[in-house]
Structures are given as structure tokens and as C-alpha cells.
Chains A and B, each alone.
Chain A
């Protein structure tokens, strides 16, 4: 069977007839061609697929697209506005918070969500908050720096 969904992604509405088994991450990557969101594991461990669903950080590989019907999603592609980087993106760049970049979209989305719930986190809180995102390149240290730096740049606001 197929099921009709309407999902707003980065401000634009997409209507599709999809198989119920289609994962949200495949919906984003394959059905609407937003490949910034990555897939790094099978088991909800790595967090590379993290997107914001109605503002909430979600592992899109563990979500069916039909579950996201009617929601508004922000992916890494929708974070910058008017050609200006989001301050978390800016900080990842400034603090060398990425190397190969594969975990980065998920890492940035998780960081954005983290700062929304805790605009002024300690380094330890950032480490705790990002436990659901795996990175194999950076050893996390510069990611933690980047998130703390982003918090500072935002002046404690999310």
C-alpha cells in the first residue's frame, strides 16, 4: 500500500505517496533529494541522520516518514538563512569541529537542539548532550569547543 503524506521540510511543503516502510531519512534523501542528512548505522547509534522534527532532534533513520506526516522538519540544508551561516555552523567552522564531515550534519543539528534546551552548557554538558552522535575523526574535543563557542556567540540565547 501507499500512504499520502505532507511534510514541510526547510519551509517548503512536500506531498508524496509513499510506502509506509519508507524511513524518514530515505524520504529526505531519496524522495525529495535532500542528501545533507546522512546514514551512518543501522541501529540508532550514530546520530548522523539527526534532523529537527517540529524543533525536536530526531534520528530520522528510526522514524517512518508516515510518522512525520504533518510535521515541519529542519535539515542541515535549512539551517543557514539568506546565505548566512547559523552560528552553530559558524562555530564548527571556526573551531575545526569537523574533519571528514560525514557526521557533521547530524552533529550540528543535535548541537542546535542541545543549545535550545540548554543555551549555556558546560563542556561536560555538551559531551553528555552529544552522546548520541558518533564522530570517528575529531575525538570530539573541537566539537565540544565549537558548541561552547556557539553558545557564547549567541550570548546564552538559543
Chain B
């Protein structure tokens, strides 16, 4: 059974409730006496609040209360920042839930209204009078560092939130001996995560017991509980956080947000359950964004295309305040991956985190790694262009040779395992690269512009060893936990600390248990998302749930197996060392008929009528797994686009993804992760981009203006894989949640630039809208 279940694309057990409309997301929950909160948000990007008058709002029909900072500031500690980047002059500006004197971005919270229903609350919101005195605004992270730029926070000179560096090797020497240097200025545009479910919270405070329950659409309920306890003062033992069904996150449901705390505050003031659900417009204004880098980068190489060194400066927009994990994204998760899958002898990067009058920035699918991969893949293509060496060949010349157990790279990381060339070869072969190049040449003669983009990548995920977390300033551990509990009937509950929300671990984790212990996969139920029933865990992000949580589960399962063996030996009147295991049966070596099934053992362990001396009753194991290293999935993607020479419109024609996440527990789910990941990265390349005007107004404030990928503008994606085990993971697996996104933006962008080669275009700004591509062609034609 084990071989069949592990590696089998079985249907997800999550789905029956989701396809029938019976799943309950936060906004679906209704409690007796529940009332509704809505938040008044600043229409100004930077302004002093001269006056707030809530009198009329308080008198409106159905209104229970209207609160401002004057009410909340004594009860709520400021919003926490939990990634305290060391050696980076980190300056954390005060981030109140409700702005008191100054608002710093459009969407900053100013007041909260609670009413019997949402329509009434919205009506009352319009009756709040606020006088604002506008202040000067800055939205561009590089410009915000200028001496003349408006200052967001009195205690943060130059708006500089931090200055972090990574360096390895002798980069000066590398550039001194370079035979060729290529440069670029890259805008990693700001993106809006757009999980289909907006953020929502339902807070229920019970004054009589001093107990607080928060239902919250989050990727990490245990972190929410920890931070909520710090902010509200409610002790963790009386604080229950439930992540019910969660409608996507992509990083936007990691952070703590003012809305959740305001719902809690209101419930505690009013003694009634308070629900708060943001609208999509609010989600766009005030739920965290991603990316937002200005990168200046140069690469030194030899004439035959070998990389000598990489040097870059990055201005990372952080928004008006530092979100919970924000400082670690453009630094640790970005800078440490700058050498990618290549042999890079020397590099240096300066990252300046900058406050701007914009929505706070956080992790967004890939979180730092897409920004690193893109930079590197652009440089490789520039080098290819400068030296007239084919993009696939230039990569081949620089890829690290295969390794199975550790490879130290210039940034100080040790990659676990990799075989980069194999992935690239597979992708090139699948897409018939040579023939495609010939086809491209033919089409160019007919003024049709086909482009082929290649991206090889390695990423870091499965965050991560807790000691490392401490060293890099992450204010938490990064282990995961699992409890495996056998019931007398042999059915199993698994309780995990991680909190999947679409990634399918209710299924894949059951497959792990089934494979390891021979129980039917349908006899295993995986429980997650409720801090009251699950062990502490650090959440689902950074492609870590299977990479770390799966390891915790495997470890717990193996503890069960060890105990089962001892009990089997006792029941079979044999020595433990003579017990062998195969497919759910424990038997005496050489006598397979003398056997106990795992179900027999579960029954006796729970009945406990006949246990070996000293053995505890029950068949249950808990594991807290702290990984010895990160895992490093990798792969190669190839995109084929066609550019309309008249309009600049880009059509993605073909896409091949070869990803290596180690052995696949459920290939169907892996494929689904790759599909979604790739498409999100394609979105960044072609369509998506949050735009602020000079006044700090979010011009892309809704799905009318912010274009996320749609079904009708995408081709099918060919998903292939190679399998390279992680040497340190108990199951050899790596993460796959973000790989697609990390690779696809660069692959598509490179393809578009490749298509425009006849025009001499080598730089474009994302998203690659028809107009931008058209302008690039025009400029080149006019040159």
C-alpha cells in the first residue's frame, strides 16, 4: 500500500465541502448577538488629522458605537513588527491600529463603526466628519530617500527603515578583472496579492470568563494568537484563534492587521460578537502588497560567459509602516538567494528598506525570491545578448554541477541538493528548443515576433531551522508540529500546527500516514487551524507546510511505529528486534503469518489490557520538528510568446515548467501548485501592477483596473518534473507552493525581450502592457 499511496494523485478530501458550498469561511459564520464593524479609512496618503467628529454617526440608526484612536490607544499596543533584522539599523516606526494625529497612506484606519447590520454601519461611516490637513506625499522608494523628500515618521530620518547588506567573495576584484560587465535598472513593481477571499475577522469576547475567540482568515493562527495576546493583553491560555476555511493567502494573510484588533477591541467594549469583513476595495487599499523594488544591478563576467561577480543596490518600498514580517522579505529571503543556481564567486548587495506613503508591503507568493531570480535571470540574458551566446548555453556554463548533500554558496547558505542542468535539459528537450529557434528565425522574416524565454532557478523554502530564525531576527521559531492519534478502531486523527488553505495537506498528510503505517488513507483525518485543538505551529507560508510540517508528521508517525513494534513484539511473544514491518503489518522475522496489524495494535494500546511493563497506554505521538536546514527546490522554465508588432500585445503561446521538489506525495496537487504559481508569475510579467499617482491615490483600486490573469488569456502549461531528494528531510521532499511564481515572471519577461530582439529592445518595465511594448518598439525603430 505504501508505494501506491505515496506518490499517487488521489482526490482531495478537502473538496466535498468546498464543491457543495458547505465549507465555512470567516464571513460565513454567524453568532447569536453578532454585530458588524466597518472601518473608516483615510482618503489622503499623508495628512494631519485636525478634527474628528463622530457625533452624528453615533446617533445613526442601528449604531452601537463609534471608536477613534482616542478610545483604542489605551487598550491596544501598537501593531507588532516581528522580523527584527539584525545589523541593519532597523527603525520601526509606531504603527497604531487607528491613526491619531497623522494618516500615512490611503486606507490608513481612522475610525471604526459598529452597527446591527453592515448597511447601517456603512451609512453611519459617512456621517463621521474628519478634517484633514494635507501633507506632502512620496510613493517611490528611491525618491523617498532624497533629502528633500517628505518625512513620514519624525524618528526615521530619510525614511530609511533599514540598510541591510550581504556580501561574499571579493566583488571589487571580480569587477576589476571583468572582461564584460552588464547592467540594468529593474523595477519589481508593486503587486496586490488578491486572495479571492478578502480579510475577515469575527471576535467573540465573553466578559464572564475573560475568554476571547477570534475566527480569522489567516495563514498562521498560532502566530495570530501570540501577537493578539501581546497587543490586547488577553493571555494566550484564554485566547483561541480559529482559521476556518481560508480563501487563499499568497502572503497577504500572514501579517497581523489593524482590522482584526479593532474587531477584538469592539467585542471587548460591547460584549457582543463583532464581525469585520473588508470589501475588495479595502483589500486593495489596506491589505498588504508585495514586491516594490527598485534594483540597480551589474554583473561581471569573462568573455566566455562565466560569471565573476554580482553587485547591486535595492530600494525596497515598505509602505507607510512595517508589516509583521516585512523586513525579512527583501533581505533574508531575497539577498541570500542572489547567486541562484549559478556559480557566483563574489557578490555584494545593499538593500535599503524605505517608508513611503503607500500600503504596507509584506510577503507575496515567492516573497523575495522572485525578486532575486528575476534580477539574476535578466543579467544572464543581458550577458547572453552582450556575448552573443545562446541564453540556454550561457546558463549551462554557469550552473552549479549536480550535488546530493550540500553545496556552499557565496551568500553563506548551504543548498541541500540540486541537479540544475538536468532540469534545464528536460525543459529544452520538451519544448524542442532548437527547432523553436529555427521557427523563430523563419517567423521574423515574416515580421512575426516569436520570443523564447528561459529561466533556471533555485529557491529557498521550508523555513527553517529555528536557530537560523533567531540569528536573522525572526521573532519566532520555525519548527512545525504534529500529533498523530490512533483511536481504538484504528482510525487516525492528525493534528498539525501548520494551517493550509488550499494547498491540500489534509490529503497529502493523510497519504504520509497511510504510506508509513499502512492504514487506509480514508481512515486518517487531518485537523488544522484551531489553536485550541492543534499543537503550536508557525504557519503555512514560504512553501514550508510539507517541507517542515510534513517532516514533523513523518517523525511523529515513526515514533508510533517504534512503539507499535514494541507492542507487537509483546503481543507476538517475540523480541522487538525480531519484528519487521511491511504495509501495515508487524510480523516476526521469517514468519510473516505471526503478525499484528496496526489496527490490532491500536486497539490493544488503547484498551491497555495487555501492555509490556512500563509502556504507557494509548497510541499517540507528538513531534516538534526543527529542520536542520532549509530545502532548495529548483527547476527550469521556458516560455514562448508572440508579440503583435502593431499593437505591442503579448500573447503567451506555450509554457513548460520543469520543477524539482523531490519525491511527490501527490503529483496531482503538485501539478496544481505549479499551474497556479506559474500563472501568478505570468500575471506579474504581463498584467499586474499597483499604481499610485503622485498624490498617493491607489489608481488600481479595484479589479476594474488591476488585472489578474483570466482563463481566456492563458495557454495550458506543460508541467514536468525531475526528482532530487533533499538529503535531510525524512521523506526527501521539498516545497512546491512558490516555485512556479519564482520562475515564471522572468521566463515570460525574457521571452518578450527575446521577441523584440529585432528592434534592439533590452529593457522594459513590468507589467508588459501593450503600450509599453509598443513604445519600446517605437523607440527602437526611431533610434
Contact = CB atoms under 8 A, between A and B. Distances in A.
A101 B247 contact: yes
Given A100-B248, A141-B716, A141-B717, A92 B708 contact: no
Nearest to B12: A96
* 9 closest A-B pairs by CB: A36-B21, A102-B247, A101-B18, A100-B502, A139-B679, A76-B21, A139-B675, A99-B502, A35-B28
A19 B119 contact: yes
30 contacts: A30-B117, A35-B24, A39-B27, A40-B197, A40-B280, A41-B280, A42-B703, A45-B704, A75-B21, A76-B21, A92-B15, A93-B16, A93-B19, A99-B672, A100-B196, A100-B246, A101-B14, A101-B19, A101-B502, A104-B18, A105-B21, A123-B716, A128-B711, A130-B711, A136-B250, A137-B196, A140-B675, A140-B714, A141-B675, A144-B711
A120 interface: no
A41 B710 contact: no
A77 B22 contact: yes
A42 B281 contact: yes
B529 to A, nearest CB: 13
B305 to A, nearest CB: 34
A100 B501 contact: yes
Nearest to A106: B196
A144 B717 CA distance: 12
Interface in B262-306: 279-281
B637 to A, nearest CB: 13
Interface in B494-522: 501-504
B678 interface: yes
B646 interface: no
B20 A36 contact: yes
B173 interface: no
A60 interface: no
B245 interface: yes
A138 B15 contact: no
Nearest to B198: A40
B197 A100 contact: yes
A42 B676 contact: no
B194 A136 contact: yes
Contacts of B198: 40
B649 interface: no
Contact of B21 (A35, A40, A143): A35
Nearest to A35: B28
Interface in A107-158: 108, 123, 126-128, 130-131, 133-144
A137 B19 contact: no
A135 to B, nearest CB: 7
A103 interface: yes
Given A127-B714, A141-B717, A143-B711, A101 B23 contact: yes
A131 B246 CA distance: 24
A92 B148 CA distance: 56
Interface string A39-78: 1111101101000000000000000000000000001110
Contacts of A131: 710-712
Interface in B221-267: 245-248, 250
A13 interface: no
Nearest to B666: A96
B722 interface: no
Contacts of A48: 196
Contacts of A143: 711
Interface string B671-711: 11001111110000000000000000000001110001111
Nearest to B30: A33
Nearest to A78: B21
A43 B709 contact: no
Given A41-B703, A77-B21, A102-B25, 14 more contacts: A40-B196, A42-B702, A45-B702, A46-B280, A96-B11, A96-B671, A99-B672, A100-B197, A101-B19, A131-B710, A135-B711, A138-B676, A140-B675, A141-B716
Contact of A135 (B15, B196, B503, B702): B196
Contacts of B755: none
A98 B589 CA distance: 46
B510 to A, nearest CB: 16
A89 B22 CA distance: 13
Interface in B168-209: 194-198
B668 interface: yes
B503 A99 contact: yes
Nearest to A29: B28
Nearest to A99: B502
A69 B551 CA distance: 55
Given A43-B702, A141-B716, A142-B672, A136 B281 contact: no
Contacts of A108: 19
Nearest to B673: A99
Contacts of B671: 96, 142
A158 B205 CA distance: 49
B669 interface: yes
Contact of A45 (B279, B503, B703, B714): B703
